[in-house]
Amino acid sequence: MTSTWEQVGVDAADPVALGRRWAEALGWVVRGDSSDAYETRPERDRLPGLVLVPVPDGWTVKNRLHPGFRPDDQAAESARLLALGARPADVGRGEQPWRFLADPEGNEFCVLSSHAA
């Protein structure tokens, strides 16, 4: 028996607003848009996706799991994501070839160096 990776769940105070930011940042399509769960995927029937669900408590500690994205141009992509509401994140790793960022609700992710680097 095997499993298919369907989605990554993200807790959010405002799943719709945060889901829209992630959909725009990734260039993905909306699969479900409600206050109970907001889902976005690369294409309507392509996996895996992100599903954002409402939670009453806020972010409090460093994430134990976070996505890493490898753009063609790390500086340009970091600037684009910052303009969409991301912010620099200090996760205590010192200087690295990737950038740690967090979405508007504090969920951390990395912008890796370009494929050419």
Is this model's pTM higher than 0.95 or not? no
Interacting residues of 88 by C-beta distance below 8 A, sequence separation 6+: 82, 99, 100, 101, 102
Query: pLDDT tens digits for 26-67?
Result: 999 999 888 789 999 999 999 999 999 998 887 677 677 788
- Taken in order 74, 78, 79, 80, the sign of the CA dihedral is positive
End-to-end CA distance of the chain: 39
Angle at 23 between CA 109 and CA 73, to 5 degrees: 55
52: nearest Cα among 74, 31, 77: 31
**Helix, strand, or coil here: 102?**
strand
- pLDDT for residue 92 is more than 70: no
Task: Please determine, for residue 107, whether its predicted confidence score (pLDDT) is greater than 70.
Answer: yes
Mean pLDDT score, 17-34: 93
Rounded to an integer, the average pLDDT of 11-22 is: 92
